[in-house]
Chain A
């Protein structure tokens, strides 16, 4: 089956710093999504981005489908950005998740 690899696995930042999270996938996909799982376990949709670039406030994402990777940019990080960031792809009809990047932002 398809492999979804996220890097780095862990990231520690000071408030105000910028970061880039990467997602590589091993085969062509129909869809790609980024999620943030907050400390209470809720999955929050960040981006639906099978290709191209999107921005939402301090967050932006780019997917290069032909090269099978996606990037999530977080600028001016805040403590509320802490949690786990998941990349998930749809090879057929359901999401397959990477292992996530755990982000800790300290003030």
Chain B
């Protein structure tokens, strides 16, 4: 399995500001994924980040609001821009681990709990 760390673990921010969340993996991975979990809800995919190319965003998420960087095969950042209280969520990054199957098992970081006032 992959070991994933995220920083910060939690933060309280003022509306209109931006927060950058870091995701570090203990091994090189091709794809990294960013998810959002709003209070009491399930997880929703924000974007897929491949090293060396622009992130691919899901419907309802745009690069201006959630810019993503992927500078190498073990690291990615997600920025939540111009925040509003509706952005209060847990943000999680995910990677594929190595399995014997054709499609790899995905593992999640501990998440970043964001509260916007």
Please list the residues of chain A having a beta carbon within 8 angstroms of any beta carbon in chain B: 30-31, 33, 35, 41-43, 45, 48, 50, 86, 88, 90, 93-100
Query: How many angstroms from the CA of A9 to the CA of B67 in the assembled complex?
Result: 34
> Given A45-B107, A50-B101, A95–B90 Cβ distance below 8 Å?
no
| B98-113 interface code vs A (CB 8 A; 1 in, 0 out) | 0101111111101101
Does residue B43 face the partner (Cβ distance < 8 Å to A)? yes
> Given A41-B113, A42-B111, A95–B33 Cβ distance below 8 Å?
yes
Is the CB–CB distance between B110 and A90 below 8 Å? no
Is the CB–CB distance between B111 and A41 below 8 Å? yes
> Given A48-B101, A86-B42, A93–B107 Cβ distance below 8 Å?
no
Closest to A42 in B: B110
Please list the residues of chain B having a beta carbon within 8 angstroms of any beta carbon in chain A: 1, 31, 33, 37, 41-45, 48, 90, 92, 94, 99, 101-108, 110-111, 113
CB neighbours of A43 from chain B (8 A): 92, 108, 111
> Given A45-B1, A86-B43, A94–B107 Cβ distance below 8 Å?
no
8 contacting pairs across A/B (C-beta < 8 A): A41-B37, A42-B110, A43-B108, A48-B99, A48-B101, A95-B33, A95-B43, A95-B94
> Given A43-B92, A48-B105, A94–B33 Cβ distance below 8 Å?
yes
For the A-B complex with A43-B111, A94-B45 known, give 15 more contacts whose Cβ atoms are closer than 8 Å.
A31-B101, A33-B105, A35-B108, A41-B37, A41-B90, A45-B1, A48-B99, A48-B105, A86-B43, A93-B48, A94-B31, A94-B33, A95-B43, A97-B44, A100-B42
CB neighbours of A94 from chain B (8 A): 31, 33, 45, 48, 106
